[in-house]
């Protein structure tokens, strides 16, 4: 008796075939850099003059603008206004409000590359827009994603796995 027949096959925790069920891989809340006022504040916060230890004009502006920043922060989760980006084993979905109503989505096979576009004012927040492309055509955009490099890497890995599984299935049908 070989080891392969003695040990039963066990599934990997959290891994579900896309045909059976749509499973959430990751959920990301956008930064306040998604909003125009947030980007404007980010530009002001990045002012480094005069550069004397922590005494900078940008830090003073950040301190004085805390009430505005709090309003923008809570707008992210406000009913009807707030949104989140949910990444599943089938697609990437923009959901609105507390209940997570689907606003728009893109399937994993509708893009082959993802660019990170950092608009003025987003650098201070470590945020950027993810632009999903199929060839040279933009198919989808996520605005103000916090730490966009990590989310981009996860999306590209899932996209690659999705395409490879699709190719294997097509070869099996032949």
Helix ranges, 96-147 (H): none
Q: What is the pLDDT of residue 5?
A: 44
Percent of the chain at pLDDT exceeding 90:
67
By residue count, the chain amounts to 174
DSSP helix/strand/coil, 27: strand
Domains of the chain plus CATH, in order, are: 23-173 (2.30.29.30)
pLDDT > 70? residue 7 = no
15 — pLDDT class (breaks 50, 70, 90)? low
pTM of the full structure: 0.83
pLDDT higher than threshold 60 for residue 11: no
Predicted confidence at residue 157, as pLDDT, reads 93
Q: From CA 42, how far away is CA 61, in angstroms rounded? A: 10
> What confidence score (pLDDT) does residue 17 get?
67
Q: What is the pLDDT of residues 34-93, one digit of tens each?
A: 999 999 999 999 999 998 888 899 999 999 999 999 999 998 888 878 999 999 989 999
Alpha carbon distance 25, 53 (integer Å) = 42
The answer on pLDDT for 97 being more than 50 is yes
- Cα–Cα distance, 62 to 122 (Å, whole number): 14
pLDDT number for residue 4: 46
Residue 85 to residues 17, 51, 77, 82, 89, Cα–Cα distance (Å): 21, 37, 12, 11, 13
* pLDDT higher at 1 or 89: 89
The residue with greater pLDDT, 55 or 152, is 152
Mean pLDDT, the chain, whole residue set: 88
């Amino acid at each position: 008796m070989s080891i392969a027949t003695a040990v039963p096959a066990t599934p990997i925790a959290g891994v579900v075939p896309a045909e059976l069920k749509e499973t959430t891989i990751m959920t990301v809340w956008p930064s306040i850099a998604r909003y125009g006022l947030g980007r404007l504040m980010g530009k002001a916060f990045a002012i480094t003059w005069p550069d004397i230890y922590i005494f900078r004009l940008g830090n003073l502006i950040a301190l004085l603008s805390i009430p505005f920043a709090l309003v923008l922060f809570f707008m992210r989760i406000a009913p009807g206004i707030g949104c989140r980006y949910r990444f599943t084993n089938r697609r990437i979905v923009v959901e609105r409000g507390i209940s997570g109503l689907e606003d728009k989505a893109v399937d994993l096979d509708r893009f082959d590359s993802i660019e990170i576009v950092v608009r003025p004012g987003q650098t201070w927040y470590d945020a950027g827009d993810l632009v999903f492309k199929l060839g040279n055509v933009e198919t989808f955009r996520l605005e103000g994603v916090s730490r966009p490099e990590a989310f981009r890497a996860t999306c590209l890995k899932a996209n690659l796995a999705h395409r490879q599984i699709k190719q294997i299935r097509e070869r099996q049908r032949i």
